[in-house]
Structure 1
Amino acid sequence: MLERHLQIIKEFAPEEIVCYGIGSPFSSVSQWQLALILEINSVFKLHLWAFDPVTTVVDAEALEQLGICIIPENEQAKRKALKKTLFFMPHCEQFLYENVVAANWSTDLLDRVMVVGNRFSGYKEAQGAKEFADRSPHLSRLIDSLTVAEFPNERVLKLRHSFNL
C-alpha cells in the first residue's frame, strides 16, 4: 500500500517536509500520523518542520527527539514553498489547506507543493460547490486539476480516525 504513495512522493522529489496539525505525540491518533511521516522521511531523510497550536513544551521536546524541528510561531499554514515542500497535514481544517494553496498561488510556487492530507473534494461534496468556493476560492479553482492518491479504506479501516478516511 505505502509503496505506491512513496513512489508518487519520490517522483515529486521533496526537499523539505512541513507538518501542520500533527497534535501531541502522546495521543494515539498523532502517533499513527507521526509513524507515517517518519516512515516517509526514512526514505528521504529530509529536514522535518512541525507546528500545531496544541503543542506543549513536553510535546516539542518529544518531537525534537524524533528529529522534528518545531516552527516557533503559528504561520497559519501560509508558508511559501521556496523549495519543493511536502506539506503533511492529516486531520487539518479546510482553511489551513486553503492557506497553503493561497500562499503559493503562482505556477512556480504551486509546482513546489505536495499535500498529504484530507481529500479536498470531500469538503466540496459536504458543502456544495458554491459554499466550498466561498470558503476556499483557491482550492476550488485548483480542485479539478489535482492528482489524488487515496489510501485504500479497506486496508486501513482501523486507522480511519487518524487520517480522516
Structure 2
Amino acid sequence: MEEFQIVKRKRKKTKPSYKIRPNICEDQAASCTIADIEKVIARIKICKEELKESCFWLKFKESVERSLEVTSSSYRCQQGFRRDEPLKEEEVVPCITDKLSSLTIKNQVIENCEEIGNPTNACQDEDNCEIKIRKNVRDLSREYEVLVEATTGSNQEGQDQSVHSVMQSSFSVDSIVCYGLGNFSSCVNARYQLALLLLLLDHFQIAPSRGFCYDPVFTTAENDILKRYDLSCLKSNEEGKRRVYKPTIFFMPHCGKPLYNNLLWCNWGNSLANLIIIGNSFQQLEERFPSKVLEEEVPYIKAILPFVHQVDIVNNFKFLDVFNDIGVHVFPTSTLQQAPPMMWTFKKEPSYSHLTDVEIIVNKS
C-alpha cells in the first residue's frame, strides 16, 4: 500500500496594510517636519507643567538648596565671610575694593576664555569679551554699594537683609551643563528630564543661554528644539572634560561612570568646590561595585568618595524610572582640605581602552 505524504503549502508573507510612522529620533533631519517639532515642544510643555505641580519638584528643590547651603557656607568661609558675626565696614569695604582694583582686562579675558572651555576660539570675539568684563565690573560695583549701605544703614532689620543678600550672592550658580539627556523627541523619560533642566534654569534665574546641552545621540531636529528654548548646544563631545571656574550645576541623569570620572579629573583640586553634580548616586556606586573595580575603572570617583557631600533625591515621581538613583553631590572646601595632600598629586588623564564594556562615547581620533 502506497503511503502518501501531505505537504502543507507555504503561505506567502504579506506586507502590512498600514504604514509605520518614521521615528524622528533617527537622524533623518530631512524627514522631520515643522509639525513634528511643534508636537515635541507641546509634549515638553506638558511634562514641565506636570513636573512643576508634582511633589517631586518640591522635594527636589529642597534637596538642591540644602546641598548648595552646605557648599556655599564653606565657600563664604573661604572668602572671609562669617555668618554668625555682623560685618564691619573696615572688614567688608576693602574686600570689595580689592576685587575692583584687581579686575584687570588681562586676567578677566583669561578667565572668560577658560570658562568657555575653548581657549583657542574664545577670544576671537573681542567685543564679547569686553561686554563680559564691563558686566563683571558693574556687578562688583553694585555689590560694593549694597555692602556700604548694609554697614552704615540705621535700620538694623534692613541691614541684616542686605548683608544676607550679599552673602548669598557671593555663591550663586553661574550655569548648568547637561550631559547624556538622550533622545527626548521619542523618549518620555528624557522629556521629563529636559523639563527638569528647564525648571532648574527658571528656579535659579539663570539665562537659558547659560544652559549647555550635549549628547552624541542628539539629532539635528532635537538640537533645533533646544535652540528654540534658547539653550546652548555644545558643538563637540567634551567627554565630560569641562573645567569650571564658577559654581556650576552638572545635570547628568543616568550617565555612565566614566563621564563623572572625567569631570572630576578635569576639576581635580580646588575647582571641585565649583561642582554641583546632579546625577547617579555616588553612594550607590560604592555599594554596588567592589573597591578594586572602582579603582581600576574610575579612580577619581573612588578617591573622592570620602570627601563628597551627597543629598539623595526622594524618588516620589509618578514614573519611578525617570529620576531613580539620583543624588546631589557637592564638594565643600572645608571637606576637601581634609584630604591628604598626596591625593591631589595624582592627575593622570583617564583612559578606558583597557575596559571591554565602556559606558561612554569617546571622540574618534
TM-score with structure 2 length normalisation?
0.42
In the alignment, structure 1 residue 14 sits paired with structure 2 residue 163:
no
Runs of 4+ in 1 over 4 A off after TM superposition: none
Partner of 2:195: 35
CA distance in 2, matches of 1:2, 1:152: 7
What pairs up with 1:15-164 in 2 under 5 angstroms?
A: 15-26=174-185, 27-46=187-206, 47-107=210-270, 109-153=271-315, 155-156=316-317, 158-164=318-324
Instruction: Flag the 1:37–1:124 CA change in 2: closer, same or farther, 3 A.
Output: same
Measure how far apart 1:6 and its partner are. Answer: 3.8
Residue-pair matches, total: 162
Once structures 1 and 2 are overlaid, which stretch shifts more, 111-120 or 5-14? 5-14
CA distance in 1, matches of 2:257, 2:307: 18
CA distance in 1, matches of 2:278, 2:232: 19
CA distance in 2, matches of 1:10, 1:123: 22
Name whichever structure is richer in strand by fraction: 1
Q: Secondary structure at the match of 1:163?
A: coil
Q: Secondary structure at the match of 2:237?
A: coil
Percentage identity across paired residues of the two chains: 28
Q: Which has the larger radius of gyration?
A: 2
Measure how far apart 1:66 and its partner are. Answer: 1.9
Once structures 1 and 2 are overlaid, which stretch shifts more, 143-152 or 45-54? 143-152
Q: Secondary structure at the match of 1:149?
A: strand
Measure how far apart 1:160 and its partner are. Answer: 3.0
CA distance in 2, matches of 1:9, 1:61: 33
TM-score with structure 1 length normalisation?
0.90
Q: Does the 8 Å contact 1:90/1:164 carry over to 2?
A: no
Q: Summarize deviations over 1:17-70 as a string: whole Å, max 9, x none.
A: 100001122121111111111111111232100100000110001111122210
Q: Does the 8 Å contact 2:67/2:310 carry over to 1?
A: no
CA distance in 1, matches of 2:246, 2:229: 23
Q: Which ranges of structure 1 fall in alignment gaps of 5 or more residues? A: none
CA distance in 2, matches of 1:60, 1:99: 24
CA distance in 2, matches of 1:44, 1:23: 24
Instruction: Flag the 1:104–1:72 CA change in 2: closer, same or farther, 3 A.
Output: same
Partner of 2:22: none
CA distance in 2, matches of 1:68, 1:6: 21
Measure how far apart 1:9 and its partner are. Answer: 5.8
Q: Which ranges of structure 2 fall in alignment gaps of 5 or more residues? A: 1-58, 73-171, 326-365
